[in-house]
A and B are shown apart, each in its own frame.
Chain A
Amino acid sequence: MPRITSLEELHKLRAELRGEVMQRYEVGTTLVVGMGTCGIAAGARETLRTLSEELARRGIEAHLTITGCIGQCAYEPLVTVHRADAPPVMYGHVTADKVPELVEKHLVQGQVIQEWVVETS
């Protein structure tokens, strides 16, 4: 634990630590793709692949993970977007062709695509 001996050192330390702490709140974006049987049947594998490529192509850092059947099978493939300071948004019928728009509108521009949203209540 180094002793802090000047304002500059404090600022430097803060910058370092801030990253570590803020990632708790701004853990970045997490995309959850439903990969239960219903999801796979609806084409979620392709959605997942396309998402992965699109994120890599655009250089967007995001955590991609899969989940099982949530119980909204009629809306599969389901992709839920988790972002900091916003409630999770669940999109339904996200086939592979819809992926670029999703990435562009929601992840880059920060806009929720209301028509695709599935209510979770």
Chain B
Amino acid sequence: MITFTIDGQTVQTEEGKTVLEVARREGIPIPTLCYHPAVEPYGACRMCTVEVELHGRTRLETSCTIPAQEGMIVRTNTPDVYKVRQTLMGLFLSRCPNVPLIQELAAQYGVTEPPYPTDTPDEKCILCGLCVRVCQNVVKAKALNFSERGITRRVGPPFLEKTRDCIGCGACTIVCPTGAIEIVMEKLAVYKEKPLGPTSAIYVPSLQAVPRVPVIDTDVCIRFRQNDRTNGRIADACGVCQMMCEANAINFDQEDEIIELEVGAIIVATGFHMWDPTQLSQYAYGQSPNIITGLEFERLSNAGGPTGGEILLADGRKPESVAIIHCVGSRDHNAHPYCSRICCMYALKQAHLVRDKTGAEVYEFYMDMRAFGKAYEEFYERIQEEGVFMIRGKGAKVEVLPDGKLRVKGENANLGVMVSVDVDMVILATAIEAQPDADRIASLFGLGRTEDGFFAEAHPKLRPVETNTEGIFLAGACQGPRDVPDTVAHTGAAVSMALALLDKGEVTISPAIAWVNEELCSACKTCIALCPYRAISFIEEDNVARVNEALCKGCGTCVAACPAGAITGRHFTDEQILAQIEGLFRLPVEQLEGVGS
């Protein structure tokens, strides 16, 4: 342990720490421009200069590079130090007179005007080297470096030409203190200032997540991307999260575990997916950061969100007017013909939140108000009393005006007039739909899908939580749009039925299933590939196909397909069917044309 003093205060630190690191830890302010804890100190800006007395010699040194030593006496704000920083800020301000960060820091040292003539007033780069260090040593893409020498020094890719080595990770823009580097996206940047989703590759899903620990999105994480991109050649890029984690809890080598369980019942509760309204171009989603979906508004309004729960526009201002448009992508033959059920009520809730938190004017464009639940209608009335403008008429179009305001056009069907209102923010109550991987889940569990894409219940009225497969149940929005109270009820039902099943210990299945006559089976395996429920297996030892009676749904596909005619549908044999037909027509079979040949 090393003991030394900073500004008269005695401090201790382990060996290897710099004076700046200790000062930061102790809360002693030292200005820096080229320092960042995730990269090696560079010593380019010289602003962190302090006076150091050691072994009887007093010198000015940069605190970011000088290691703390036993008996050192550090003074962070002597008149000499002040004079150095003041002169340096004069130099910085003359180089970049229009960079707010430089202006602010210079003002702290009494420098308000650039003391020297400026060559390029738009210059933003202060040559601090943070972007270079991050790109070279952390991300290891090595796309950025310094070139030229002396006063013509500059930062950029080799020969200032676009390079494929840049992976577009944005690390350079994050560390750049003056905003000299921008990420330019192919399509218009949507969430430039206030991201409503995860902001980094490692993120806590939400403050209500269980367990509330961060996860790494390996599609975005630089380490995984670089590893994949270079086939393992750069296997240790970045890793800043691991460097910073004091509990040493980050392990990049964790693999997905495949756990096999034998269970008696399965409840499918895979939820819904928020549809992307970009495809309905009339709503201009993606062309302004202030046009957001209902789910994004929820994030904005959440106390654990990016704004701490305040309703703010992308540039940080409070909106003065908000439009909420219902049925975006629902009840629409161009998108989803069904009603998404939950939007009307949450739209009213969001209107209330906007009024309450910002006092902004709210315009609700709706077609029909679906307030079907307990106390829902009463809530609807209350919202109207809060002064929300309810406009019965589908919001038809959202235009982004040059000054950033949003023009919503629609029809007020009650009055029979076209309405146009300019607002600061538009919330689109977007349709909810089945998850994108519903296909895969359905085939895994042998689930059917209804026309709306959600999983098929066994009976639309009488068996809402069961599926056609015994033992597999549905819970919640994966079966169809539903709100919280309904989901709770639905799930309760699924759970009860599952428990009942487990309690009973056995399932009752329909007897109308397929059966393979093993003497006739020629082991061609056609039926195995065809079975949509994967109920037929090929038994190697006996060289025959065999039907799993629990899985078979009696659809009859294999019966028809078997070239040897070895499979029978129980209770649906050819003879039985013909007998039924005979009964229908009350005629002897022989007298019917084209039958039985």
Is there a direct interface between A and B, measured as CB atoms under 8 Å apart in the complex?
no
Q: Which residues of A approach B to under 8 Å, CB–CB? A: none
